[in-house]
Amino acid sequence: MPNELKEECGIAGGALYDKDQNIVPYLHKMILNLQNRGQLSSGVSTFNEKRDHLISTYKDLGSVNEVFKTQNPAKTKEIYSKYSGDRGIAHTRYATCGVASRSDAHPFERVHGRKYKWFSLCFNGNLANYSELRRKLLEKKDYHMIHNNDTEIIMHNISKTIAELDPKDNHGPGLSDVFAKLSKSFDGAYNLGMLNADGKLMALRDPLGFKPLCYSKDDEKVLFASESVALDHCGVNNVKDLQPGQILINNGDETKVERFASSPKKAHCMFEWVYFANVSSTIDESSVYVARENLGKAMARSEPLDIDDSYVVIPVPDSSKPFGDSYAYELGLPSREGLVRNRYIGRTFIEGVNRQNKVEDKFTVLKEITKGKKVLLMDDSIVRGNTSKKLVDFIKKKGQAKEVHLRISCPPIVAPCFYGIDMSTIEELIAAKFHKEVGEDISDDACERFAANQGADSLIFQKINDIPKSLGFPASDLCMACLNGDYPTEAGCELYKKAQENHKNGISRRPYEC
């Protein structure tokens, strides 16, 4: 398996009520502020009734600014002009399924002669029953799969359902009806942005609300994005969360939000607050920054060391800073920038290269802060263990630290994720080698052995019960399956059983791979 932990995609979209205005600058700005969610590729699809090609899609590999060629303002302006439209969708991607090629970049466009059957789609999540859906399509219809990813499966199923519900009135079925039917067969996480050649814009959040999705509407426009920070940077001040099982539809000057499926329970991914989301975002009325501060306070309460002025707290930048600062404040310790991040190096979990080789390129250690000190190194999680091990060695050797103690804001990750995070096998999860009691807090003995593996002088993980308390949700509203093995969907439970069998038999393949 690869060493990099990969996170979730970001989706965005919007419609401007003045048809002479251009949505592309808004789309660019929104996905730029979602860049933390993926740097593999990005793209936009826009609608313009004045073009022969009513929907036009532009996408490529690279970061958002690389794709929009912002180092050359003339080329950026040319892109804005060529793909100008009054409504559109946008995406920034990493891959949990599929490959790193331009053809797998989003949005995906499906061209058709009938305008309501011609649409473009962007997707954030992962269908846990992808293999079953794929098999059903290939068995019952003369389908040929090109991309081998769940976005293609979703598009085929949307087209199939439109055809099945088509009233033959030249307007097509209602989008709420289409997705109400699809919700009965889709199992997993799926936030969608969709645009069709009738000019309809749609945003949808799955019935369990795994991934965040929010929107804003006023007299001039409607915008939606995976995180509130993307909308904040567009100057809006009325951001609302799209609730699980809700769909937003814009048709010209009218925007409505309605329910397409019931939401019997919620399963918000706890990793959004722990690591993935921008610290400036608020998700389902819970501040990411405050959640990370709360995790730091909880960690401080469980600190067993006899702390004195020989210790220094160093958060791993950037996601661990609120966690580390809060922990340090509670213990009366300095929180110092002992690791300086090179701002021109992307997040290591996104890049398709060996993570260990990237650590020294990504960070500079300031031995003026670490030399001779007992370093409390604060990080958000340990998944495969490569980066944390390298950092400990880096700080001891280059930083000349006397000791390095790891403090992790997330409990041990011991079970795979099938809902959009690329950690799909037990074999790749280093904590599973030391901690066998899934659903319980890791023992002191296991922590000692784990610390030795990492080259650390000690290691403490967050307690499982501190996650819902810190985030401000009941445990029943969170997906913590990677911590406790409690999967919120039927297909997720089946994949976990398969993952356990694969691990037992030494098979490293992802459980949902065909």
Are both 481 and 442 inside the same structural domain?
yes
488, pLDDT greater than 90: yes
Amino acid present at 445: D
* Interatomic CA distance for residues 158 and 175, integer angstroms: 10
Q: Nearest CA to 239 among 191, 303, 190, 283?
A: 283
Say how many domains are in the chain: 2
Token pair recorded at residue 7: 């996170």
Determine contact, residues 279/290, Cβ cutoff 8 Å.
no
* Selected residue with higher pLDDT from 168 and 33: 33
Token pair recorded at residue 264: 């019997």
512: in domain:
no
Are both 55 and 192 inside the same structural domain?
yes
At 50, is the pLDDT very low, low, confident or very high (cuts 50, 70, 90)?
very high
Q: Domain with 302 in it: what CATH number?
A: 3.40.50.2020
Instruction: Write phi, then psi, for 439 (nearest 5 degrees).
Output: 100, -10
pLDDT mean over 483-505? 96
212: in domain:
yes
Note the pLDDT tens digit of each residue in 108-148.
999 999 999 999 999 999 999 999 999 998 887 677 887 77
Determine contact, residues 288/272, Cβ cutoff 8 Å.
yes
* Selected residue with higher pLDDT from 310 and 344: 310
Are both 254 and 324 inside the same structural domain?
no
Are both 257 and 372 inside the same structural domain?
no
Determine contact, residues 23/85, Cβ cutoff 8 Å.
yes
Q: What is the pLDDT of residue 192?
A: 98
395, pLDDT greater than 80: yes
* Interatomic CA distance for residues 325 and 335, integer angstroms: 6
513: in domain:
no
Which of 264, 297, 320 is a domain's end point? 264
Which of 264, 297, 312 is a domain's end point? 264
Q: Nearest CA to 91 among 37, 53, 47, 55?
A: 37
* Percentage of the chain exceeding pLDDT 90: 81
Are both 255 and 300 inside the same structural domain?
no
Are both 241 and 322 inside the same structural domain?
no
Q: What is the pLDDT of residue 12?
A: 98
* Percentage of the chain exceeding pLDDT 70: 93
Residue 403 sits at the vertex; the CA angle it makes with 400 and 407, to the nearest 5 degrees, is 120
**CB proximity list for 197: less than 8 A, separation 6 or greater:** 47, 54, 55, 112, 115, 116, 118, 119
Note the pLDDT tens digit of each residue in 418-464.
999 888 899 999 999 999 999 999 999 999 999 999 999 999 999 99
Strand 282-283 and strand 286-287: the pairing is: antiparallel
Q: Domain with 187 in it: what CATH number?
A: 3.60.20.10
Q: What is the pLDDT of residue 98?
A: 46
Token pair recorded at residue 35: 């860049």
pLDDT mean over 252-264? 94
Determine contact, residues 195/178, Cβ cutoff 8 Å.
no
Catalytic, 9? Answer yes
Q: What is the pLDDT of residue 82?
A: 97
What residues are paired with 91 via a beta bridge?
Answer: 11, 43
490, pLDDT greater than 90: yes
Average pLDDT, the chain: 92
203: in domain:
yes
Q: What is the pLDDT of residue 343?
A: 73
Are both 63 and 212 inside the same structural domain?
yes
Range of the domain at 466: 286-504
Q: What is the pLDDT of residue 511?
A: 83
136: in domain:
yes
Are both 300 and 222 inside the same structural domain?
no
Note the pLDDT tens digit of each residue in 341-394.
887 665 444 444 444 456 778 899 999 999 999 999 999 999 999 889 999 999
Note the pLDDT tens digit of each residue in 72-101.
999 999 999 999 999 999 999 875 444 456
Are both 44 and 133 inside the same structural domain?
yes
514, pLDDT greater than 60: no
